[in-house]
Structure 1
Amino acid sequence: MGQPSSAERPGDSGQSGIGVVDKSVAILASVALAPRALADLVAATDLPRATAHRLAVALEAHRLLARDAEGRFILGPRLGELAAALPDPVVAAAGPVLAWVRDECGESAQLYRRDGAERVCVAAAERAHGLRTTVPLGTRLPLNAGSGAQVLCAWSDPASLVGVETFSERSLAEVRRRGWAQSIGQREAGVASVSAPVLSPEGELLAAISVSGPIERLGRSPGTRLAPLLTRGAHRITTSLAT
């Protein structure tokens, strides 16, 4: 008998010793690097042609692999679906912080993420009683209005904003200098909001944490009162992600 291939040796790093699993993972790892025709897949994995074909077709049946326009194997849509089903650590960390912010100030709190030319509400803690501003989960809003949009634009790579309708560089520089943003009737008449950036432990922008409510309650300068609370809340999320 010949020597087993690298995808078959149980003693190799990352090998489970269960041949069909190790070979399937080798195929997925290879395709993740570049689209593969069958011949390329055989060369990259050192698997017999019949084995590589059989496993690749099986993975395709489970939508873990797919084919591009040239018939080459590429990663399939089910991988993204499985990844999307995993708990989101930022949203999980933000949940109790949003509730704390809401309880401290008595107003609705939200967490927004940027998605291209829009921002998306990915978490919220609504005010239980009285007049409130409700932003349903999944709500998409433009990046050219509101304090949350100001924050997401101010801490984004300027190159990623090319072609996106947003704010002036001067106003965004002022937001960065202050460390927070406020808006008065900017996105919706009668509504005020304050937002601060949520950064990763490495300092990269993750989201914007916001408080919104009627102008009659928040006033014309809501940042003076609410910005310290929001920046503390943002720091709490960052700290939670670091542990």
Structure 2
Amino acid sequence: MEEGKATVRAVDRALDILLCFTEATELSMTDISVKAGLHKSTVHRLLLSLEHKGFVIRDGGTDKYRLGFRIWELSAQLSESDISSILLPEMERLRDEIGETISLYVRDGKERIRIQAVQSKQSVRRVAPIGARLPLYVGASSKILLAYASMEDRKAVLHDENWPVYMEREAFEQQLETIRLQGYATSIEEREAGAAAVAVPLFNRSNQLAASLSISGPANRLTMDKMREHARVLQETARKMGNMIRS
């Protein structure tokens, strides 16, 4: 019985820690300890568990924590109350203008997660399921999320033991630098036969990378010339959406 009470208390405290982020995007362990009214040793122990499960992320080399992308995966099961629904109207407007599937991705470690998608209305289209996890070494959005990541995070992916042997790291790094210069990334049949995509970075009001916004569809419609044309529209939409995201 006592063990059961302790387990419930630990859950309550872990939830109290998560609720500390309702009014802040980043918090130190000291901040969390004060807000939650918990001893630092307790906060440290619970943060380790929450970080292991992906509910919080510790910014590399600092004492700052922020919510992890497991929150996004859970929110994919919600309707109007999940945060990505704030960006949904702009994504729908873009879909209606372009006619192709629109997706929003965030990086989680060495993967990306699709946290929102608006499907094309065309009979031949690319269907993008929300919550899907994908590798960071192929696809337009993967390249955007890596191109604008910190050097430390980029190296962690490039030198991962699962890096495909057929991909040259140096050539890929050069591609990432080109993407940073031009402000968008493209891919043609990199991950799926017959599919193409163009993606741009989405920055929040503090000019921090928040997500990658992409257009995807059949490669016979999304030619390279067409994707370059779409990139300008995509960048403008990303700027509008970025102003909707709190820093």
Question: What TM-score results when the alignment is normalised by the length of structure 2?
Answer: 0.65
2-side partners of 1:94 and 1:185: how far apart?
Answer: 27
Q: Which residue of 2 aligns with 1:188?
A: 192
2-side partners of 1:220 and 1:26: how far apart?
Answer: 53
Q: Which residue of 1 aligns with 2:236?
A: 232
Structure 1 residues 203 and 88 mapped into 2: Cα distance closer, same or farther (>3 Å)? farther
Structure 1 residues 111 and 190 mapped into 2: Cα distance closer, same or farther (>3 Å)? same
2:210 corresponds to which of 203, 206, 221: 206
Greater Cα shift, 156-165 or 200-209: 156-165
Structure 1 unaligned regions, length at least 5: 1-24, 37-64, 69-73
Structure 1 residues 107 and 26 mapped into 2: Cα distance closer, same or farther (>3 Å)? closer
- Secondary structure at the residue paired with 1:129? coil
- Secondary structure at the residue paired with 2:224? coil
2-side partners of 1:28 and 1:228: how far apart?
Answer: 45
Q: Which residue of 1 aligns with 2:123?
A: 130
2-side partners of 1:110 and 1:26: how far apart?
Answer: 38
Q: CA deviation at 1:27?
A: 8.7
Q: Which residue of 2 aligns with 1:28?
A: 36
For the 8 Å contact 2:99–2:122, the answer to whether it is kept is no
Structure 1 residues 26 and 210 mapped into 2: Cα distance closer, same or farther (>3 Å)? closer
Aligned residues: 179
Structure 1 residues 26 and 233 mapped into 2: Cα distance closer, same or farther (>3 Å)? closer
Q: CA deviation at 1:160?
A: 1.3
Q: CA deviation at 1:99?
A: 0.5
- Secondary structure at the residue paired with 2:157? coil
Structure 1 residue identity aligned to 2:37? A
Q: Alignment RMSD, CA only? A: 2.8
Structure 1 residues 124 and 28 mapped into 2: Cα distance closer, same or farther (>3 Å)? same
Matching of residues 93-108 of structure 1 within 5 Å = 93-108=86-101
Question: What's the % identity of the aligned pairs?
Answer: 29
**1:120 aligns to 2:113 (yes or no):** yes
- Secondary structure at the residue paired with 1:138? coil
Q: CA deviation at 1:28?
A: 3.1
Deviations 1:179-227 (A, max 9, x none): 1111111111111100000001111000000000001111133332110
Structure 2 unaligned regions, length at least 5: 1-32, 57-66, 76-80, 164-168
